[in-house]
Amino acid sequence: MKNLFIALLFTVFLANSVLAFQNNDVKDGHDVLEKMYEMYKDKWYKQLVFTQKTTFYGAAGEVARTQIWHEAMNLPGNLAIKFDEKDSNNGILFKEGQQYGFANGILIQQADRVHDLLVLGYDVYHQSPEETGKQLTSNGYDLSKLYMDEWEGRSVYVVGTAEIDSTKPQFWVDVERLVFVRNFTIGRQNTIQEVQFNKYEPLGEGWISPEVVFKANGMLGLLEEYSEIAIPDSLNLDIFDPDKFAITSWE
């Protein structure tokens, strides 16, 4: 029993020592982004396709509706979403800091937008940490502030605040895998918006989170579930052209 107690103490000491080393090694959010980039540089997949079951929830937590989205990425900076069918002319396109919305083949929206989930989940591995830092700073994240925490039993870096405070924009990164797992941002009427990237599994030489959860003030609002996940050998890049998006078939 005494030997078991000593072994447990040593395990706790070792874990705390590793955590302390990681904390000393990483001073701020810039260091975290650098680590993420260096871990998967020239390894992380550049293109990705998947089918997404999108479930919308009402104020009482009930399922309001579901919809199938078909999505494709060309990294960094390009995400195409087609609603219902792969050859649909309805959808959303994110391209190099712009968001485009299409309905019945007509462009109905264009706006500046840095899609922080695209940046943190994917682009970070394909562009310089300086560029990623600039994009995230423009979205309100304070990269000078950081603390260590735990999420789902795993150590995480929390960037954007120096202490527990869900009212500050922040993103959480798994210390070992160096993948984005959670963020908090402030939405309309000061609602606290939370996104979780869950159930990570290996994909190529990188990772994929096939479940994405969106909450507002702690209430579930949207659930994304991925299937038919693949790294394509080729992808028609016209899908990412705003002038061709609506008329370009998915495959």
- pTM for the predicted model, two decimal places: 0.89
pLDDT for the residue 46: 97
Nearest to 45, CA basis, from 204, 177, 179, 202: 204
d(CA 89, CA 202): 32
Q: Is residue 21 part of a domain?
A: no
Q: Is the dihedral of CA 210, 128, 79, 62 positive or negative?
A: positive
pLDDT for the residue 24: 61
- Domains in the chain, number: 1
d(CA 235, CA 39): 26
Q: Is residue 231 part of a domain?
A: yes
Q: Is residue 22 part of a domain?
A: no
Q: Is residue 1 part of a domain?
A: no
Q: Is residue 214 part of a domain?
A: yes
Q: Is residue 33 part of a domain?
A: yes
d(CA 14, CA 12): 5
Q: Is residue 7 part of a domain?
A: no
Q: Is residue 31 part of a domain?
A: yes
d(CA 39, CA 42): 9
Domain range for 212 is: 27-247
CATH number assigned to the domain comprising residue 237: 2.50.20.10
Q: Mean pLDDT of successive 10-residue segments in the chain (251 residues)?
A: 43 41 77 98 97 96 97 98 96 96 97 97 98 97 98 98 97 98 95 97 98 97 98 95 92 69
